[in-house]
Structure 1
Amino acid sequence: MLAHLLPNVTSMATPEAADVRAFPDVDHLDTWLTAHPAPHPGLWVKVAKKGTGIPSVSAGDVNDAALCHGWITGHRRRLDEAYYLQRITPRRPRSDWSMVNVRRVEELTAAGRMRPGGLAEVDAAKADGRWAAAYESQKEAGVPEDLAAALERSPAAAREFQRLGKTDRYLVVLGLLKARTARTRVARLEKAVARLEAEGHPRQPIEVSSPPSNT
């Protein structure tokens, strides 16, 4: 229901209007990305489904190549019985980083696979604090201490939080994790508790990025 607020999701473009390409392996994708640096509108990569026997990059290959060149993965779409489409685009200025991608970039760096575009994005994120502020994934993220304390002070909010599904709980937590200032985090915490306390009202998503910057 609130999946449109998850991190690192690119704006949706139709495959008909965008570039769609297939690559037999990650080296061919790496070559294409080297020849098409940012700025670029993005690409739909055709990924062959398992069991088809078609030479193709895998989802992991696409993610790694994107990170190496300073791009990110976005939407995934079914194409046909043999392929699905994976959207990749250049990372937007000041976009947030996930710990999953931070850890993977560290592995790719150690393997000597990072390219100039990817290294530039890492340097920029380290310089402005986004690297250190990378957020945990839904699988790894727990309930932050300030949210836990606020829920202890508000039984009504705590009950509603417990009723939320995993994704909606994570979006509440993610809004706090992605706050870039203490003031923003406090404001989001107060807003989250107020909405949780409003039992019987339609649930509204909590802002998960620091306006007005894009994620």
Structure 2
Amino acid sequence: MPEPQSFRSSKELRAWMAKEHARARGLLLRIYKKDSGVPSVTYAEALDQALCFGWIDGKKLPFDANSWVQKFTPRRAKSGWSKINVAHVDRLIQEGQMTPAGLKEVEAAKADGRWTTAYDSSANATVPPEFIEELARNAKAKQFYATLNKANLYSIAYRLQTAKRSETKIKRIKLIIDMLARGEKFH
């Protein structure tokens, strides 16, 4: 991954994306905090531009007292879509901002079902009723589940929500219940 880069505006970032999106492996984007006094593209603006070109946001890393680094990369084939990003893309399409590269990723996701099976954000994620029923049958798992933090609760919800087939979901429920009964968690 290259050295972190910063852009003063969404327009500057879009110009970089237009030139580099097809050949760059990624971008470490240095985003300055509002109170730093340094003009900077915002995270929301950067995400919009990434989506317009078929890219996705990744890990956020601390940089210094005035800024952080947000990783952006081209979307991998078959990568899942969040409901939040689906909504962003719908808005960007209506605004006429999407590029052919971004629309290609959207069409691929619609064609293979990833668009309609987009996953919830951590704030909105829930586990399916089948999981709750199985959890109620295992006292150890239920007791340990009650101690989990938000990151681990979301890991469970995500794994269950992204199962494409009911057989896969049932298998994952069993594995997760067994894991919880042993006092194990994802993070």
Same structural fold, with TM-score higher than 0.5 when normalized by the shorter chain: yes
TM-score (norm 2): 0.93
SS class of match (1:20): coil
Partner of 1:34: 18
Partner of 1:89: 73
* Deviation at residue 39 of structure 1 after TM alignment: 4.4
Partner of 1:205: 186
- Identical-pair percentage: 35
SS class of match (1:21): coil
Residues 108 and 140 (structure 1), Cα distance of their counterparts in 2 relative to 1, 3 Å cut: same
Structure scoring higher RCO (CA < 8 A, sep ≥ 6) equals 1
The aligned amino acid for 1:205 is F
Report the RMSD for the aligned CA atoms in angstroms: 1.6
Higher mean C-alpha displacement, 60-69 vs 154-163:
154-163
Partner of 1:114: 98
Q: Distance in 2 between matches of 1:47 and 1:148?
A: 41
Q: Distance in 2 between matches of 1:64 and 1:155?
A: 45
Mapped pair 1:126 → 2:110? yes
* Structure 1, gaps ≥5 residues long: 1-12, 207-215
The aligned amino acid for 1:129 is G
Higher mean C-alpha displacement, 175-184 vs 133-142:
175-184
Q: Which of 35, 56, 66 lines up with 2:50 in the alignment?
A: 66
SS class of match (1:57): coil
* Deviation at residue 35 of structure 1 after TM alignment: 0.8
TM-score (norm 1): 0.81
Partner of 1:76: 60
By percentage of residues, which structure has more helix? 2
CA contact (8 A) 1:39 1:90 kept: no
Structure 1, residues 55-94: CA drift from partner, whole Å, max 9, x if none? 2101111111111111011122222333321111100110
Q: Which of 44, 68, 86 lines up with 1:102 in the alignment?
A: 86
Partner of 2:154: 170
The aligned amino acid for 1:21 is Q
Q: How does 1:136-155 map to 2 (within 5 A)?
A: 136-155=120-139
* Structure 2, gaps ≥5 residues long: none
Higher mean C-alpha displacement, 118-127 vs 178-187:
178-187
* Deviation at residue 148 of structure 1 after TM alignment: 1.2
